[in-house]
A and B are shown apart, each in its own frame.
Chain A
Amino acid sequence: EDQVTQSPEALRLQEGESSSLNCSYTVSGLRGLFWYRQDPGKGPEFLFTLYSAGEEKEKERLKATLTKKESFLHITAPKPEDSATYLCAVRTSGNTPLVFGKGTRLSVIA
């Protein structure tokens, strides 16, 4: 069974304190790993897609990386507006829907 595990469940950072969120996966044939941001009371917002080990994508203070077993979302010098829940999801072989992790709730304190 395809599984996606995100850690930690919650993370509290001081403004400017860089850190990383982890998404580990056990799937048969990865065809893409997706990162989303979700603000309270809103739907998830698409951030990145990674397709192969070694690939990296960046957007402002966020950088996503991918290995054969996990992905990291690095947050450099975070600001309070980066506070949100970050979700990762995987697409596996075949025409199957995305499988989502439970998310990491990030709080950045000024």
Chain B
Amino acid sequence: DAEITQSPRHKITETGRQVTLACHQTWNHNNMFWYRQDLGHGLRLIHYSYGVQDTNKGEVSDGYSVSRSNTEDLPLTLESAASSQTSVYFCASSEGGKAYEQYFGPGTRLTVT
């Protein structure tokens, strides 16, 4: 069955370190998204991609970067982790066109100490 996976599921890192969160989908979807979810804020869009070599900034992109070298993967990098980036991160994917339902991964809980 097609699926979307994230790794690691839990990560503890120190302030200032570079961290990369992986997202891999086997739906063959063109669109991929990264969100963070915090109490009181709901899901907030970080970056998204509509295809290979395409990346776009979302609502809360400062301090994060992504690159899309193939259809299946959209890794999220925190260039220099900050305590404000402690959160739960979700990756999602969707087809293009009218079928815009997004399918979410299980999430990565990141703690920056």
Residues of A within 8 A of B (CB): 31-32, 34, 36, 41-46, 49, 87, 89, 91, 95, 97-98, 100-103
Q: Mark out the residues of chain B between 78 and 113 whose CB falls within 8 Å of any chain A CB in the assembled complex.
A: 90, 92, 98, 100-107
> How many chain B residues touch A (Cβ–Cβ < 8 Å)?
20
- The answer to whether A46 and B103 have CB atoms under 8 Å apart is yes
Contacting residues, chain B, for A102 (C-beta < 8 A):
40-42
A100 to B43, CA, bound (A): 6
Contacting residues, chain A, for B92 (C-beta < 8 A):
43
Contacting residues, chain A, for B101 (C-beta < 8 A):
34, 46, 49
- The answer to whether B42 and A43 have CB atoms under 8 Å apart is no
- The answer to whether A45 and B104 have CB atoms under 8 Å apart is yes
Residues of B within 8 A of A (CB): 33, 40-43, 45, 48, 50, 58, 90, 92, 98, 100-107
Known: A44-B90, A46-B102, A100-B42. 18 other contacts (CB 8 A): A31-B100, A34-B102, A42-B106, A42-B107, A43-B90, A43-B104, A43-B106, A43-B107, A44-B43, A46-B101, A49-B100, A91-B100, A97-B45, A97-B48, A98-B102, A100-B43, A102-B41, A103-B42
- Quick one: closest B residue to A85, CB to CB? B42
Contact residue among A31, A34, A101 (Cβ-Cβ distance under 8 Å from B42): A101
User: 10 nearest interchain CB pairs?
Assistant: A43-B104, A102-B42, A100-B43, A44-B104, A46-B101, A43-B90, A43-B106, A43-B107, A97-B48, A43-B105
Contacting residues, chain A, for B45 (C-beta < 8 A):
97
- The answer to whether B43 and A87 have CB atoms under 8 Å apart is yes
Contacting residues, chain B, for A97 (C-beta < 8 A):
33, 45, 48, 58
Give the most central of B43, B58, B92: most A CB within 10 Å.
Answer: B43
